């Protein structure tokens, strides 16, 4: 497939005189193809088409939407190496990583297709009439969940496939019966166009209204603001910086009709090295920590940015092991020059905080590479300085030494909300872990044992969310089958004739949905 640089507005391709070009992440050189910058009118057109498509799209059967999701996955697969090569050039991510991410992207599309076929996500409930109940009869009450309306999705920088144009936000919105308008990330417009054309093709092949999907792009932040402001948009999916997520949330809240923004923003993912585990495995834990920290240049929202342990010789052995592993740690290319600059600025800022010491730096690499950095501090300094809790997007982490378990618990209570919390423990640490668990459950969306937080399995039980500032809504997840719940709302039907009920609530249950029934 040849890139054109066009916007994808419904089934139309639109070009504009104002253009921009992507950069090769590794070399900084300008890549081929000039990409059109969308105008405010383009955004309005895309949103209007989405609004016009909504009633038709949400009325499709779960099977029809499942076939649509499967078709998108097939169309992405058919792009072959063209997609991977372009994503590699625009992001600097290695081809094996991108191959895996493409598989994850197709896998989550097909996962939502299976969820639709199972019918559980629609949560059909029936309380049949009780006309003879005393002292008051009960009406016939039936409930099902329907799509909220058109959804705006913002492509993420660090996952050009799995959290971008056809990523989890888009897949779950489509599964809910919601048209999607995607704002492509300006760092990988070619990757976005290729995937966008795959979705556009699937819309046509499945006979869906053209407004089911549109793709707009451009480097201007005002474009995203226009998208969130549009009255047709009923929810927003976003993965990115805290500043960006908060800005979109403020715009959405200030609308005449406010809408939810499901923003995944900032997390340093505390890792607890409990006493027995640290005593018996300090060296191996130190090596594994650096491997997790430097994976993918640390450009994961679940990167282990904070290590917590009790002071003493065991923690010193861990630090020595980590320091040694840093000497040969990889220095991969970062996604963009601006992300690289922000990383360097964050490392410099942390190095200047009172009470912070440098444990070590990894190899420097070339100008666009991520030089890993690990710092140490004490619990008192950490709790007195909120800056130490700020996420540094890249391979940077802070090791905090606590004098005792009470301090460790107090520090945990002082933490901001996180995506993950990890416990490295052995049988002798269970009592300590039991004291931490109630606090961690209030602070994080996923608790791990004896693992590292990098890597998010796409499955029914996964939660990729957490209390603020990890996300703007701690009740939600952006990964796993429960992600669809963000874009559904319940509707109750009281005493309606069968012919007026949604198919899933009719007496004959033609869709074969699982239903909760109380007679």
pLDDT in tens, 250-269: 999 999 999 999 999 999 99
Q: What is the mean pLDDT of the chain?
A: 97
**How many whole angstroms from its chain centre is CA 193?**
20
- What DSSP state is assigned to residue 334? P
* Whole-number pLDDT of residue 56: 98
- CA–CA dist 336, 368 (Å, integer): 8
**Contact yes or no for 478/462 (Cβ under 8 A):** no
pLDDT of 99 higher than 90: yes
Query: How confident is the model over 195-249, as pLDDT tens digits?
Result: 999 999 999 999 999 999 999 999 999 999 999 999 999 999 999 999 999 999 9
Distance CA 255, CA 207 (A): 33
Q: Which of 101, 210, 264, 391 is catalytic?
A: 264
Q: Is the pLDDT reported for residue 1 higher than 90?
A: no
- pLDDT tens profile 150-207: 999 999 999 999 999 999 999 999 999 999 999 999 999 999 999 999 999 999 999 9
DSSP state of 420: E
Task: Tell me how far apart the alpha carbons of residues 263 and 149 are, in angstroms, rounded to a whole number.
Answer: 18
Using CB atoms within 10 A of its CB, is residue 494 exposed (0-12), middle (13-18) or buried (19+)?
exposed
The one catalytic residue in 301, 319, 370, 402 is 301
Give yes or no: 301 in active site. Answer: yes
* CATH number listed for the domain at residues 270-449: 3.40.309.10
pLDDT of residue 63: 98
pLDDT of 464 higher than 80: yes
Structural domain boundaries of the chain? 45-118+150-265+473-499, 270-449
Average pLDDT of span 91-102: 96
Specify the pLDDT at position 103: 97
- Both tokens of 60, joined, read 């499709």
Q: Which helix (H) or strand (E) holds 144?
A: strand 141-147
How far is Cα 245 from Cα 283, in angstroms, rounded to an integer?
38
Task: Decide if pLDDT at 345 tops 80.
Answer: yes
Instruction: Name the 3-class secondary structure at 423.
Output: strand
SS (H, E, C) 472-492: CCCCCCCCCHHHHHHHEEEEE
Residue 334, φ and ψ in degrees, nearest 5: -85, 165
Closest to 264 (Cα-Cα) out of 284, 283, 282, 246: 246
- Tell me if residue 264 is catalytic: yes
Q: What is the mean pLDDT of residues 465-493?
A: 97
The dihedral region occupied by 168, where left means phi > 0, alpha psi between -120 and 50, and beta the remainder, is alpha
pTM summary value = 0.95
> How far apart, in whole angstroms, are the C-alpha atoms of residue 270 and residue 467?
14
Residues facing 517 on adjacent strands: 126
Instruction: Tell me which fold the domain 45-118+150-265+473-499 belongs to.
Output: Aldehyde Dehydrogenase; Chain A, domain 1 (3.40.605)
pLDDT score, position 147: 98
- pLDDT, residue 140, reads 97
Q: Is the pLDDT of residue 519 over 70?
A: no
């Amino acid at each position: 497939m040849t890139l054109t640089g066009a916007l994808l507005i419904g089934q139309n391709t639109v070009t504009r005189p104002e253009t921009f070009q992507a950069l090769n992440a590794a070399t900084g050189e300008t890549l081929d193809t000039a990409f059109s910058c969308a105008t405010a009118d383009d955004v309005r057109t895309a949103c209007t088409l989405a609004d016009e498509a909504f009633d038709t799209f949400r009325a499709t059967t779960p099977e029809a939407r499942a076939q649509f999701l499967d078709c998108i996955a097939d169309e992405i697969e058919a792009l072959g190496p063209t997609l991977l090569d372009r994503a590699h050039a625009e992001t600097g991510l290695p081809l094996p990583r991108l191959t895996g991410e493409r598989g994850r992207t197709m896998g989550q599309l097909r996962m939502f297709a299976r969820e639709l076929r199972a019918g559980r996500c629609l949560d059909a409930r029936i309380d049949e009439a009780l006309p003879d109940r005393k002292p008051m009869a009960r009406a016939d009450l039936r409930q099902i969940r329907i799509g909220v309306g058109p959804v705006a999705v913002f492509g993420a920088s660090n996952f050009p496939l799995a959290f971008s144009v056809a990523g989890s936000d888009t897949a779950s919105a489509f599964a809910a019966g919601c048209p999607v308008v995607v704002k492509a990330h300006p760092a990988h417009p070619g990757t976005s166009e290729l995937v966008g054309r795959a979705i556009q093709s699937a819309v046509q092949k499945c006979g869906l209204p053209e407004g089911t999907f549109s793709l707009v792009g451009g480097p201007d932040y005002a474009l995203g603001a226009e998208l969130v402001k549009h009255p047709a948009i009923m929810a927003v999916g976003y993965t990115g910086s805290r500043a960006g997520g908060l800005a979109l949330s403020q715009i959405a809240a200030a609308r005449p009709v406010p809408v939810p923004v499901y923003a995944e923003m900032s997390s340093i993912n505390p890792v607890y090295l409990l006493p027995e585990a640290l005593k018996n495995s300090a060296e191996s834990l130190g090596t594994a920590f650096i491997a997790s920290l430097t994976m993918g240049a640390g450009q994961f929202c679940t990167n282990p940015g904070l290590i917590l342990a009790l002071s003493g010789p065991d923690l010193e052995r861990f630090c020595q092991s980590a320091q040694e592993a840093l000497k040969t740690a990889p220095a991969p290319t970062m996604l963009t020059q601006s992300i690289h600059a922000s990383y360097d600025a964050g490392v410099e800022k942390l190095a200047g905080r009172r009470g912070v010491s440098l444990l070590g730096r990894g190899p420097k690499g070339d100008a666009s590479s991520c030089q890993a950095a690990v710092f140490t501090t004490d619990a008192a300094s950490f709790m007195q300085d909120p800056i130490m809790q700020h996420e540094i997007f890249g391979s940077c982490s802070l090791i905090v030494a606590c004098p005792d378990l009470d301090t460790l618990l107090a520090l945990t209570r002082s933490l901001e909300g996180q995506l993950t919390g990890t416990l490295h423990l052995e049988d002798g640490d269970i009592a300590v872990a039991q004291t931490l668990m109630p606090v961690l459950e209030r602070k994080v969306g996923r608790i791990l044992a004896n693992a590292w937080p990098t890597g998010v399995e796409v499955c029914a039980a996964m939660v990729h969310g957490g209390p603020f500032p990890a996300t703007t809504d701690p009740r939600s997840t952006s990964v796993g089958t429960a992600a669809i719940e963000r874009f559904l709302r319940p509707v109750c039907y009281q005493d309606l004739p069968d012919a007026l009920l949604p198919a899933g609530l009719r007496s004959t249950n033609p869709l074969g949905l699982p239903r909760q029934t109380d007679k």
